[in-house]
Amino acid sequence: MLSTIDLPSAESFAFFVILVLAGIVLWDAFWLTKQKSDVPTFGELPNGGYAWASEGPHEVIRQWGNLFSMAAMMSLPWALISLSNTPIIYGIIWDCLLALHIIYLLVPKRYAVTSTHLFADGQRYEWSKLRLAKKQPKRRIMLLRKGWGIFGPLPLGGNYHDLEQAKHAIARFYQIDDESE
């Protein structure tokens, strides 16, 4: 005899999903606010490093794939809401949280390249955990996080001059790493 499994109600599941999304949005907001303390100044840094900031259009170029994904995710719950009789407020909250996340994606970012780390998106990455993508896009720098597979791209945005300066600094630091091995 098969026993029936009591699934959570659509409303309690919607509430859980909203909590998870709110946690992600808050987590990203935390890192976004942290970037100013990590990269307080721009230009040449000691030991051959370089720091710069992007502008909104650079972030659109950098995040274009994520922006399309967010747009698709905003439409996703609406068919499910009508099928599951979930209160419409959950769809509205979902879309508001994703809209806030889209704004976070478009806010200009601060970047810095130092001899030991890359600072991007409010986080610090050791050079040993990054590698340059073999094929570089024209209007950004593409690094890959080692061990992340398809989730590893880490694009850096900025104007042409800043990206060229950063590429030179990155090349110096990779040469240092190559010589030490």
Tokens read off for 121: 């998106």
Distance CA 75, CA 70 (A): 9
pLDDT in tens, 54-88: 998 888 888 888 899 999 999 988 988 888 889 99
The residue extents of the domains of the chain are 32-54+110-181, 56-107
The pLDDT tens digits of the residues spanning 23-54 come to: 999 999 998 888 888 898 999 998 889 999 99
CA distances to 84, 142, 163, 173 from 167, in Å = 51, 10, 6, 10
Whole-prediction pTM value?
Answer: 0.78
